[in-house]
């Protein structure tokens, strides 16, 4: 049975986000994975070496968890990329991969060295329930 309360929905979404694997197109086509709560990964170690203190994983796909077709999601992500260019130290492709395959892979971006307010503002503008924000040690 599905519950229709906002609190239950929020908990289900939070659990889904926490268990998602986030693929980042770095250092090559094989990429690197991070998960929420990660403190160690090749990508995070690279950011420390480069003195880049944060990143966001963001997509414009499927706003407010409403499935759109691939063409529309690609159009939305192209617009998001245009917004990200010039606002980030490093812009890479990313994919959000559901741990159990219950949600299709969402393409998006990993923007490192971006202001948190810019990242969250873009998330709101593109209709996202959340963005994945990582803040390193300062």
* DSSP-derived secondary structure for 42-91: HHHHHHHHTT--EEEEE--SSGGG----HHHHHHHHHHHHHHHTTS-SEE
pLDDT tens readout for residues 25-50: 999 889 999 999 878 888 999 999 99
pLDDT at 138: 53
pLDDT at 137: 66
**Residue 1 covered by a domain:** no
pLDDT tens readout for residues 1-20: 334 445 555 888 888 888 99
pLDDT at 2: 34
DSSP β-ladder status, 32-34 and 132-135: unpaired
**Residue 12 covered by a domain:** no
pTM of the predicted model as reported, rounded to 2 decimal places = 0.88
From residue 42, how far is each of 47, 98, 112, 127 by CA, in Å? Answer: 9, 21, 14, 30
Instruction: Count structural domains, the chain.
Output: 1
Residue ranges making up the domain that contains 27? 18-135
**Residue 2 covered by a domain:** no
pLDDT tens readout for residues 61-106: 999 999 999 999 999 999 999 999 999 999 999 999 998 888 899 9
């Amino acid at each position: 049975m599905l519950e229709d309360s906002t609190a239950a929905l929020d908990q289900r979404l939070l659990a889904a986000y926490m268990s998602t694997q986030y693929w980042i197109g770095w250092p090559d086509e094989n990429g690197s994975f991070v998960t929420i709560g990660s403190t160690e990964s090749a990508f995070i170690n690279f950011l420390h070496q480069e003195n880049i203190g944060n990143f966001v994983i963001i997509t414009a796909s499927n706003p407010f968890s409403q499935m759109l077709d691939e063409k529309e999601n690609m159009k939305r992500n192209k617009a998001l990329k245009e917004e990200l260019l010039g606002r980030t130290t490093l812009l890479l492709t990313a994919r959000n991969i559901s741990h159990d395959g219950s949600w299709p892979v969402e393409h998006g971006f990993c923007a490192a060295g971006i202001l948190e307010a810019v990242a969250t503002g873009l998330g709101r503008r593109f209709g996202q329930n959340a963005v994945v924000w990582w803040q390193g040690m300062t």
